[in-house]
């Protein structure tokens, strides 16, 4: 963004309604691409230098960034927060604990692409979903309702995910990934995903220089 335009944009955005209640799934830059009892995935696309209307987030979520972008977020009564992300970055947001209304604009020369994975189930303390520890999996962080990993199969070697009572979501960030279960093999390209419902049997993940995100969701 050109420096001389920032004060003007800040002035315009400072007047957006603080009581705006446009749900995120009705905001035109977000579209629902999966919804079930456990999660809802919103696919976000914001064109270069475009701005969303004010919209409401009200579910605890994992935001997965699928493009390397520079963007800004502004909440009512606050100055904009400008952030740079790389494809494959992710973060947990407690929107269900504290709903947030904000606008987002893209300062990049290309499309800002991201998933918002809303966690719809109330976490059950003690629910069996043990942490995974094996080559090719790197635990990144853990919240009461979700555990996040980076999954990078070693060269020529598969990663075996054991049967689980948790729901699982695999999001491909780079390379091609193949997920094999008792029902067959699903292949995904970057920005694709595979959802595994609770009670799924063991699956095998293969990839050629691939990098994915794995979410375990009790």
Q: What is the pLDDT of residues 130-174, one digit of tens each?
A: 899 999 999 999 998 999 999 999 887 999 999 999 999 999 999
3-state SS class at 6? helix
Q: Give span(s): CATH 2.60.120.10, the chain.
A: 3-119, 137-217
3-state SS class at 108? coil
User: By the 8 A CB rule, do 17 and 54 touch?
Assistant: yes
**Cα separation, 115 vs 63, whole angstroms:** 6
Six token digits for residue 47: 């064109």
Six token digits for residue 141: 């962080």
**Cα separation, 131 vs 120, whole angstroms:** 21
Tell whether pTM > 0.85: yes
3-state SS class at 71? strand
To the question of domain 3-119 being in CATH 3.40.109.10, the answer is no
Summarize pLDDT for 65-117 with one digit per residue, the tens: 999 999 999 999 999 999 999 999 999 999 999 999 999 999 999 999 999 99
**Annotation: CATH topology of 137-217:** Jelly Rolls (2.60.120)
């Amino acid at each position: 963004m050109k420096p001389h335009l920032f004060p003007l944009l800040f002035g315009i955005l400072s007047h957006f309604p603080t009581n705006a209640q446009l749900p995120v799934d009705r905001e035109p830059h977000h579209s629902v691409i999966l919804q079930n009892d456990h999660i809802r995935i919103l696919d976000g696309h914001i064109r270069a230098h475009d701005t969303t209307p004010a919209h409401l987030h009200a579910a605890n979520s994992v935001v997965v960034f699928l493009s390397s972008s520079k963007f800004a977020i502004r909440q009512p009564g606050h100055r904009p927060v400008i952030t740079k992300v790389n494809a494959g970055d992710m973060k947990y947001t407690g929107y269900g604990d504290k709903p947030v209304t904000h606008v987002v604009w893209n300062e990049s020369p290309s499309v800002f692409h991201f998933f918002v994975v809303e966690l719809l189930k109330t976490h059950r303390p003690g629910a069996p979903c043990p942490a995974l520890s094996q080559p090719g999996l790197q635990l990144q962080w853990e919240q009461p309702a979700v555990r996040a990993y980076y999954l990078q199969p070693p060269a020529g070697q598969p990663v075996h995910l054991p049967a689980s009572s948790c729901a699982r979501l695999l999001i491909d960030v780079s390379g091609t990934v193949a997920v094999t279960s008792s029902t067959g093999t699903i292949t995904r390209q970057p920005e694709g995903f595979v959802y595994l419902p609770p009670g799924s049997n063991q699956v095998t993940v293969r990839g050629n220089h691939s990098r994915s995100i794995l979410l375990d969701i009790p």
